[in-house]
Amino acid sequence: MRASENHYFYLRRSCTRPMEEGLPPSGYRWSLWKPSGISIAPRGFPLFPFAIWSAFHYLHVFFNRDYQLLLIHHGAQLVHRSVITPGYFRFPFMHRDDLQVGDTWTDDGHRGKGLATFALKQIASLDVCVGRSLWYLVEEANTSSMRVAEKAGFSCVARGTRGSRFGLRLFGAFHIDERFQPRC
């Protein structure tokens, strides 16, 4: 079937101890950011969409309290982010305790150095993740992203479609059309 921006692979892994990857590649440092008080987006980030995710956190739209971002810096420069979100109305297949890694991005000049793979492995070994399921959704055509997830221990468990709501993809729910045993 033709790859389309509306068709996604759904990957999942369980989060385990011990920590799989303690240190990022040399020269990089990582941190976690969570909304706190009036801090609703990491410094330098646009309010859209990050203020919306913080609003979902504060208003209990998210199914649990564990929304956060993993950030990687090189010197003062932000070179990677991965957004950890609980389920909410757009992801009806996620259980209450599940988490998802999304909006994963590495700066062009720092790609291919293992930063995204490190971030996903690190997230899977965070205290908050252990014992829970972690999801990663990727457009079918995004082979780099698929490769990152597989290197970080995710398995492809389903294929599905992103719908739209009020004519906007941003609000569209992700549905599972086909489940795989055990891989895509």
Ligand X SMILES: CC(C)(COP(=O)(O)OP(=O)(O)OC[C@H]1O[C@@H](n2cnc3c(N)ncnc32)[C@H](O)[C@@H]1OP(=O)(O)O)[C@@H](O)C(=O)NCCC(=O)NCCS
Which residues bind to ligand X, rule: CB under 6 A? 104-106, 111-117, 138, 142, 144-145, 147-148, 151
Closer of 39 and 144 to ligand X (Cβ): 144
Min separation Cβ 34 and ligand X, Å: 21
Closer of 115 and 126 to ligand X (Cβ): 115
Closer of 29 and 65 to ligand X (Cβ): 29
Min separation Cβ 9 and ligand X, Å: 10
Min separation Cβ 49 and ligand X, Å: 14
Which residues have CB under 8 Å from 153's CB, separation 6+? 13, 20, 120, 121, 124
Min separation Cβ 60 and ligand X, Å: 26
Closer of 54 and 100 to ligand X (Cβ): 100
